[in-house]
Structures are given as structure tokens and as C-alpha cells.
Amino acid sequence: MSIEPSTPPSRPRTIRGHREGRLGRSPFGPTGPAVLLAVGYGVAVAAWTLAGDVLPGGRWLAVHLFTLGVLSNLVLAFADHFGTTLTRSPAANLTGRLVVANVGAVLMLTGVVQGRRALLGVGATALTGAVMWSWWQLRRMRRRAVGARFAWIVRVYERAHGMFVHGALLGVLMGLGVLSGPWYVSARVAHLHVNVLGWGGLTLLSTVVFFGPTLARTRIEPGADDRAAVVLRHGATGLSVGTLLLLGSGVGGVLGVVVRCLAAVALGVFAWAATTTCSAVVRAALRSRGAPARWSVVAVGLWFPAMVWADVAVVAYGWWDRLDALGVAVGMGVLLQAIVGALTHVAPMLRGRTFAGRDRMVARFERLATIRVALFNAGLLAVVVAITIGGAAGAVMSRVGWGTVGAVVTSHLLAGLVPARTSPESPVVSRVASRYRRDG
């Protein structure tokens, strides 16, 4: 992409083949509906989190609005987008899958909250069907790809989709009351691992290998993709084995302890894979300069290995009361922070109608970017500590922490949703535009 030197700085830039100052269709355009759905679910998550147990479903519903609403919509959309791109396959219509998935999620959550098992069963079937539909599309794209360098990433996406199906099955069995007593506890722990670390975490790890450096506006570290292809294959197997062993730990007694310790060893393989993958991404991001999402990428790359190794310790010792704090740290410090960082990159492409408008949105995200990331992580750390210590002091820390995290996320949403005006460029916008001209 280039621009003539004589173009006035106050006018939108032009590109051959388009009307003056107009951008062509964004490559992330097909993900737009899923992003809007995720934002809507995110608002609901905030409402249920702030309301506590006042609203139906309470904290349980807030968690599942995030995993089934925010996370699942984005995983389905971006796995399809990157799968299509990496395998050079023709784009398929995502609308049907999103409709089935969201109708299923709403029916499932309504069935659990209202105690209506029929709705739970129908909703879970529809949601699982949508994920299997996506899995089949990814598998078909990968098998048809010839010589695609990153086809292995699509294979990891497939494994993450398979883990969602297993997690959904465990969730339905718990919701229907089939599993009880110690088996309910072991199934719940297995359900959390396969959904949070499998469906969300494994998808993130395979994506961050190439998309993390893109967010940080730098190059992938030489050999990082080859290493990730190997370690993530073993890590996914370790997570699968660990989840099965966690479920088997419900047998109780000495045998249950042995099975639980073996599960910790298997999860250690996943933690090793996460550490190896994230380390390369962090090193690449630290070499970058000026990208709005740079520090978000670094923070995610530090939180993820720390939390999965902490999870290994929690499983080894059976500290199930620490899972709440761990779940918040992974959900907010890893998954939500990665989502916010990705949307910082995608939003200008989706919302910017002209080159100048896109540049203004990028400049908007760049302002105070480092401070926002610092505040987000400080707030998150306060929440995790508050959950761990409890009591009156913990309650105060929790309110302050959640308020800080909410304020930062809200500022990102406003920056991405408010249209950018095409007024004369400010010095900050001019600097951003100049960088794009130089790099483009």
C-alpha cells in the first residue's frame, strides 16, 4: 500500500481501485457479527458480575455467559477465519453456525437456571452440533490444503473443538444430576479444565504463535512455529489425558489420590507446551515498539504459563478451593486480555471506513495503551488476591479490582465502537499514518 507524496494530509488516503479514501472490505469482515455478539454477551457478564446473586443464575450464569457467549462466539468465528486463511480455502458462510450456537446457548442456560431439563438437553445438543459443524469444516479445509505452512494450527483447532464436545457432555451430565457426590466434584474439575484450557486455552496458544507477533507489529521468532507445532501436539494430548484422569479421580481413596497425581503430571506436559509457546511470543513482542496491543501480548504470555503451572500444583495437592481464584486469573488475565488485545487490532479494520478513519482509531487505541494494560493487570491481581484471602479486606480489594478491570475494558469498547471522524489529522494521527505509509 502506498500514497503519493502530494496527497494533502487533511484528506483521506486513497488506494487504486476504490473511491477516494475508501477502504475495501476488511479481511476480518466475516467475524463482525460474532464480535458484536461477544460484546453483547460481555455486557451481560458485567451486569451479572456486578449484581452478584440478585439476578437469576448469579455467578454461575456470569461465568457461563462468558464461556458460552463471549468465548465461544469468538472461537467459532476466528478459528474459521484463520483456518480459511492458513489453508487458503474458500470462505464458508458462518451465519448458520452462529445462529445454531447462540440459540443453543440461550436455551441451555435458560434450562439450567429454570430447572427445565428438556431445554437444557435441546440447547446443549444444538450448541454441540454447531461446534461439531465447525470442527467438520476445519477438518475438511485442512485435508484439502496442500503445502500449507500453518495447517498444523488448524489441526490444533480441531482438537480444541473436540475438547469442547467432551466438556459439554460433562456439563450436561452434571446438569441432569447423573453425576453426584465425589463424581460430581471430579467431573466439575474436569469440565473446567477441558473447557477453559482446552476450548479457550488451546485455541489461543495455537493462534498466538503467528497472530501475537502480528498484534505487536513484529516478526515471528525464527523456528517458533516449528517448535510450537511439536509441543502443542504433545500439550494437547497431555491435557486430554489429564482431563480423563481428573474425572477418574472421583473413585476416591488412595487410588483416587494416585490418579489425581498422574493427572497433575499430564497437565504438566500442557504447562510445558504453554511455556515454550508463550516464551517465544513474549520475546518477539518485547522487540516491538509502539503497537497498542504489545503489552497485552506480553501480559498474556506471562499470565498463561504462570497459571497453568499453578494449576498443576492445585491438582497435585487437591486444593480445589483455589480453583476460583485460578479460574478468574485464566479467564480474565489470559482469555479476556487476549480478546481485548485482538479487538484492538481488528476494530480499526472493521470500523474504519477510510484510511484516515482507520488511522484515527489506531491512534485512539495507542493513547495511554501502556497505562491501560498496567491498570487492567493491577486490577486483576487485586481480584485474585481478594478471592484468595477473603474477609472484609478481600471484599474491598475485590470491588476496587473489578472496578478497575471494568473501567479499562469499557474504555476499549468505547474506543472500538465510537466511529472515527474524518477531521484534519492531529500530530498523533499523522505519526500513525506515517508509520503505515512507511511499513506499507
Q: How many CB atoms lie within 10 A of CB 231?
A: 20
Give the mean pLDDT of 217-246.
Answer: 93
Question: Residue 51's pLDDT is what?
Answer: 78
Residue 248: pLDDT band (50, 70, 90) is very high
Q: What is the pLDDT of residues 130-164, one digit of tens each?
A: 999 999 999 999 988 877 788 899 999 999 999 99
Q: What is the pLDDT of residue 19?
A: 35
Grid cell listed for 331: 479467564
Give the per-residue pLDDT at 421. Answer: 59
Strands (DSSP E) along 81-146, which ranges? none
Report the percent of the chain where pLDDT is more than 90: 48
Rounded distance between C-alpha atoms, residue 135 and residue 161, angstroms: 6
pLDDT digits (tens, 9 = 90+) for 317-353: 999 988 988 988 999 999 999 988 888 877 777 766 6
The answer to whether the CB of 259 falls within 8 A of the CB of 182 is no
Q: Is it the case that residue 234 has pLDDT exceeding 90? A: yes
Cα dihedral value 334, 335, 337, 340, nearest 10 = 160
Handedness of CA 354, 355, 356, 362 (dihedral sign): positive
Q: Give the whole-angstrom CA distance, residue 252 versus residue 267.
A: 20
Q: pLDDT band at 436, cuts 50/70/90? A: very low
pLDDT averaged over every residue in the chain: 84
Q: Is 115 left (phi over 0), alpha (psi -120 to 50) or beta?
A: left
pLDDT digits (tens, 9 = 90+) for 107-118: 999 998 998 989
Q: What is the pLDDT of residues 1-42, one digit of tens each?
A: 333 333 333 334 433 333 334 444 667 778 888 988 998 998
Q: Give the tens place of pLDDT for each residue, 180-223.
A: 888 999 999 999 999 999 999 999 999 999 888 988 888 888 88
Q: Please tell me the predicted confidence (pLDDT) of residue 26.
A: 66
The whole-angstrom separation of Cα 255 and Cα 258 is 5
Q: Where are the domains of the chain?
A: 28-148, 158-318, 326-440
pLDDT of residue 9: 38
Q: What is the pTM of this model?
A: 0.85
| pLDDT exceeds cutoff 90 at 290 | no
